[in-house]
Structure 1
Amino acid sequence: MYQPLGVHRLIYRTRIASYVKAGLIDYAVKVFDEMTLSECRVFGIDYNRFIGVLIRHSRFDLAHHYYSKMAPLGFSLSSFTYSRFISGLCQTKEFTFIDNLLKDMEKLHCVPDIWAFNIYLNLLFRENREESALEVFGRMVERGREPDVVTFTIIIDSLCKMKKFDAAVQFWLNMLDKGIRPDNKACVALAVGLCDGGQVDLAYELIIGVISGGLSEVSTLVYNALISGFCRAGRIDKALAMVSFMSRTGCKPDLVTYNVLLNYCCNEFMFEEAVKLLKKMECSAIEPDVYSYNQLLKAHCKANHPDKAYLFMVTKMVPKGFCDVVSYNTIIKAFCSISNNRRAYKLFEEMGRKGIAPDVVTFTILIKAFLREGNSDIAKKLLDLMAGMGLLPDRIFYTTIIDHHCKSGKVEMAHSIFCDMVEKGITPDVVSYNALINGFCKSLRVGEVMHLYEEMLQRGSFPDEVTYKLIIGALVRENKLSDACRVWDQMMERGLTLDRVNCKPKFWSILWLEYIIACLNCCYFIDTSSASFTNCNNGTLSAWWGWCFEVRCVKKICGLSSLLQQCQKSRIANDGFQALKSRCRCMASQILNVSKEMS
């Protein structure tokens, strides 16, 4: 009696396999349903195989359906099928279902294969689910799934991109402690991540450590990251030392290596060294590319020698076929920067004759220059030409127009263009916001300024020092000093100061006095407010005291200073507190009145 049932099961399996091979999955599903409803016995292996087929063909809904039928029958997926299921669901980002699968695996005391685990971990980090990723990592390790070098590379790369360098370094050290040799990809992730974050010394220490210890052989990518990091830090001596070191280890400098050094030399106006580098490249059988020549072109332009730059392009670049839109944009921008818009426009026309199509950058440079000149007719002509070519404005273009209208006092027009940019799906950056905030500040529209500030925070476009200077200055001018102090505190929490921003002495005097009052109102210790003074450099403090002397407040300031010193070590009594607060308010009012008279 059992023999015919076994034969039937074999027939069903053969039919399913033939349909799957022909890509007829829907027919295979019907046959599998027939098999489950027939008298022949269906085993767990049948479900495993068929669910695996459905996963391979991305039929995850059906895979979910048949998976839900397995538990009541006493069946379960194998660790391999679970792994395939998890990796497949990563394509559709079904996090809840994946988490349920992991919980089911935990009940069965099994863990996903390392490749599936790494795919899921990478997805979590890509989707900015850092906490979930680290939680899954910890849970898997506790259950016996040991990470490999790919696992650590994913984590290190992701943490570096999130600027969490301390955590990334900790995972790097953990990897070494486990005896896992970092491969080239792991070294690239660490070197590029740390160097991009300005942590070049730390990257150098860790990478050289594994190279010297014989733990890893790295490619030119790693060395180039370190060389680039040192160049960006202005430490050309260390960059050149890295070039020598990589040559000694048998890793020859490539085109990228030379271009990084060339970029540094050109930015620092080291023309002779740049020319020597070009010759050295040719001697090393490394042909300079268009980027190499554009760097030298940029150097001439930065030195305010656009005529030399144009001559260099015509004599050196054109014969080699290295002249492109970037080359022209560089020279056009240089002529515009010295207000020679006529020559810039002639170069624009020359581009057309030579068949080099201008891009959005070209139009942005020219339109900005002619608007600044007050020649709106040519600017309008360029804008129409740009639209006729089908070129869509980018964020920089919009920001340029917004900034021009704000500086021209046309804030409503600037705001309208800003809204149009957002509606077209172009996310404004901090420069875009600063341009519009500056316009509102000049128009004394503090309400709109604060609205934009809150919008920035919600959109994740974090304010910079310029943003805070504009906002705090506007609030101080409107005598909204408590709001100014609140924004100041938010700035300090982000680790920013106004030391690098040019602020007038009276701006500091009013703000610091009100900051003392705000601290007293919150019943802080005096040393909390005095600690904030350390965020100004000595020059700023000197300017502050100097201005106070100019408005003849020196005696009152000294009196306040003495009173503050008496209260530094303990909380002052209520009557003393009220007296100090009253004196501060009186002084702030006097200084504010004097500052208005001086404005």
Structure 2
Amino acid sequence: MICASHKICGHSRFLMVKSLALSFSCFSSKTQITNSSESREVSNLFKLPSPSFAVSSRRLKRVLRSNKWSESVEMELGKLNVQLNNYVVNQVLKSLSDSEMAFRFYLWVESRPGFKHDHFTTKSIIVLLLKDQNFNLLSQVLSRIRENGFSMHRSLYRILVSGYVKTGMFDHAIVTFDEMVESGCRVFSVDYNKFIGVLVHNCCFDLAEKYYDMMIPQGYSLSWFTYSRFICGLCKVGNITLVEKLLDDMNETGCVPDIWAYNTYLDSLCKEKRLDSAIGVLNTMKKKGREPDVVTYTTIFNGLCNVRRFSDAVELWDEMVKKGFRPDVVACQALIFGLCNNGKVEIAFEIMMGMIKDEIKLTVSIYNAVISGFYRVGSFDKAQKIDSFMRRNGCKPDVVTYNIHLNYYCNNVMLDEAHNLMDIMEMEGINPDKYSYNQLLKGLCKANRLREAYALIATEMEGKGFCDVVSCNILIEALCMARNVQTAYKLFEEMGRKGIDPDTVTYGTLIKGFFIKGHHKKAKELFDHMVNAGVAPNVNAYTTMVHYLCKSGRVDFACKLFHDMIEKGISPDVVSYSALINGLCKASRVTEAMDLYEDMSNRGLSPDNLTYTLLIGGLLQEKKAVLACRIWDHMMENGFTLDKMISERLINAMKLRTS
């Protein structure tokens, strides 16, 4: 029974499942039929009436293949059944190579109902117009953008600024950058860095400072690279104040200039003789981890030697060597030249020997500097030994080496040695140059062998093209010293015929020569001739005129010339002031002389012994003992002593005043 019932139940379940299956099959077939018809209806409802984006852009490009925009092109575009959107327009604009065609298409699209350009289409037209440098059309595009109230993204401003800079239109770049700042779009530190970098590169330092001052309050900072280039540029134009401000700002942000910027700054400090500041910067570099290089040390060597701080220069040299730097030739020359030029040749010699010990190959210039240094301090034997040592070390002397020897021989009227040396030069294949012949000419003039000097110019120097204004000046000076001023003047006239222009030295020498001979009128004519010839008188020429005019009693004219000199920007020296003060004192114009003395003191100049004596004597003559006593104090402070006669007069005058 149980088994039979199970069978009946199982059969029933089978029939139910089969029935359900048949029912589902019928429903499914009906549904397929219904869905198929509905699908066709939906497809017809949403079917696109125009081609795809790619097809649309291809069809537009095909029409625009024409090289020139025309009415027919515009009509053909209008007939196309394409849907215009920013993607399609942008693809077309990017495919065009002709900026004018792109511009016309850009305007045509803009005129289509419902179309508005976006960031991408605007970017494409701007890029193409910049590439073709079609700035007239670009200006029209930008005007339309502004008129339509389109808000440009900072990337478009960046593209415009970059394009203007590349084509050298800096004014437009500046206006665009300002527009970007004022537009309200966010300007980043990188924008200021790039723009300030461009301004620095083009030496627009005032503008660079303006934008720098704009960015700092916003919490932005320049990169170490931009700071470094900015510092280098400012140093070149001498704006050290702004450099120091930038360095302070860098210090606050932990930014460190590169070695090039530091070296440029150090060079500026050394040129301004701010050596303590330069050494301070050197120490700061070390603390900040920016190790100085050979250029750093070389720059400071030069500066220290120029202000005669030789012990500091040598100390710095030792520091450089201890740090393991191998000095290059430039560094060696900087220190040795500085020492030799300032009479410290023994120290230079020791450094040179140290370099040889370290197997640093010396140049002929270094040997020349040491040879010249020993000659200047009168060490003839040492100079000769250095020359021999140089040759043994395989360094051949050049024309400068021989000229250094010639200069010493001729200054000391060793003419036989000078002639022999000229012969040796030619035997060794070194041709004497203009300087060589001028040295020999100077030696002959010093020996008062003026005929030989004249013959040297006529027979050798003129033929080789070595006779110049220096040669003529040497001979003219020698003739004037020999009181042969007429011959000197004839040589002066010959200079013009030979195409040699006289200079200030030529005129000054002749003026002095004529004054000495008592030909004051001729001297004055020569001074006027110099001015009319466009040769600006120097302080020596003015001083000569003032001195001899005062000597001949023409003090008023001397005063006029003195003031003319100052008006022309020529600063009087001690000799100029002393010449006029002496003339005024001798003319009993002590009040004017005292005014001149005050002006002289304000300029940091001190009179010579004779001027002090004349001033005190003149003041005593006018019974101004107190003022004379004050001048006496100044005189003693400057290391001068008053002669016995005037000092007794001064003492007596003071006694009378107190009695």
Q: TM-score range by the shorter chain?
A: 0.7 to 0.9
Per-residue deviation, residues 470-498 of structure 1 (Å, max 9, x unmatched): 31564368565743552244324xxxx77
Work out whether 1:153 is the aligned partner of 2:298: yes
**Cα deviation, residue 328, structure 1:** 2.3
Stretches of structure 1 lacking an aligned partner (at least 5 in a row): 515-584, 591-599
Per-residue deviation, residues 301-334 of structure 1 (Å, max 9, x unmatched): 1112212211222223233232222222222222
What letter matches 1:297 in structure 2? L
What letter matches 2:492 in structure 1? F
Secondary structure at the aligned position of 1:278 is classed as helix
Pick the aligned partner of 2:251 from 89, 99, 106. 106
Alignment length, in residue pairs? 502
Identity over the aligned pairs, expressed in percent? 49
Mapped contact 1:5–1:41 kept (Cα < 8 A): no
Residue of structure 1 equivalent to 2:270: 125
My pick for the range that moved more, 235-244 or 359-368, is 359-368
Work out whether 1:229 is the aligned partner of 2:391: no
Residue of structure 1 equivalent to 2:462: 318
Pick the aligned partner of 1:423 from 567, 578, 584. 567
Residue of structure 1 equivalent to 2:356: 211
Map 1:28-177 onto structure 2 (within 5 A): 28-33=173-178, 42-177=187-322
Secondary structure at the aligned position of 1:320 is classed as coil
Pick the aligned partner of 2:338 from 193, 199, 206. 193
Whichever of the two has the greater Rg, that structure is 2
Mapped contact 1:16–1:32 kept (Cα < 8 A): yes
Per-residue deviation, residues 338-379 of structure 1 (Å, max 9, x unmatched): 222232233233333433333332222222222222223433
In structure 2, distance between residues paired with 1:509 and 1:37:
78
Pick the aligned partner of 2:638 from 491, 509, 516. 491
In structure 2, distance between residues paired with 1:356 and 1:334:
19
**Cα deviation, residue 278, structure 1:** 0.5
Per-residue deviation, residues 544-598 of structure 1 (Å, max 9, x unmatched): xxxxxxxxxxxxxxxxxxxxxxxxxxxxxxxxxxxxxxxxx799989xxxxxxxx
Work out whether 1:178 is the aligned partner of 2:323: yes
Map 1:262-341 onto structure 2 (within 5 A): 262-341=406-485
In structure 1, distance between residues paired with 2:392 and 2:209:
57
In structure 1, distance between residues paired with 2:595 and 2:345:
38
The structure with higher relative contact order (CA 8 Å, sep 6+) is: 1
Residue of structure 2 equivalent to 1:471: 612
Mapped contact 2:612–2:635 kept (Cα < 8 A): no
RMSD: 3.3
Work out whether 1:401 is the aligned partner of 2:545: yes
In structure 2, distance between residues paired with 1:586 and 1:245:
66
Mapped contact 2:613–2:646 kept (Cα < 8 A): no
Stretches of structure 2 lacking an aligned partner (at least 5 in a row): 1-117, 124-152
Mapped contact 2:444–2:450 kept (Cα < 8 A): yes
**Cα deviation, residue 118, structure 1:** 1.3
My pick for the range that moved more, 27-36 or 397-406, is 27-36
In structure 1, distance between residues paired with 2:226 and 2:439:
54
In structure 2, distance between residues paired with 1:282 and 1:163:
39
Q: What's the TM-score, normalizing by structure 2?
A: 0.69
In 2 relative to 1, CA 41–437 (structure 1 residues): closer, same or farther, beyond 3 Å? closer
Mapped contact 1:15–1:31 kept (Cα < 8 A): yes
Mapped contact 1:35–1:42 kept (Cα < 8 A): yes
What letter matches 1:17 in structure 2? S
Mapped contact 1:224–1:257 kept (Cα < 8 A): yes
In 2 relative to 1, CA 176–483 (structure 1 residues): closer, same or farther, beyond 3 Å? farther
In structure 2, distance between residues paired with 1:138 and 1:115:
16
Mapped contact 1:19–1:28 kept (Cα < 8 A): yes
Per-residue deviation, residues 172-219 of structure 1 (Å, max 9, x unmatched): 2332233323222222222222222222222222233223233x4332
Mapped contact 1:195–1:225 kept (Cα < 8 A): yes
In structure 1, distance between residues paired with 2:525 and 2:247:
62
In 2 relative to 1, CA 409–168 (structure 1 residues): closer, same or farther, beyond 3 Å? farther
Work out whether 1:435 is the aligned partner of 2:571: no
Pick the aligned partner of 2:164 from 19, 25, 29. 19
Per-residue deviation, residues 92-131 of structure 1 (Å, max 9, x unmatched): 4333332221111111222111111111222223234444
Secondary structure at the aligned position of 2:396 is classed as coil
Work out whether 1:202 is the aligned partner of 2:347: yes
In structure 2, distance between residues paired with 1:150 and 1:221:
19
Pick the aligned partner of 1:241 from 368, 375, 385. 385
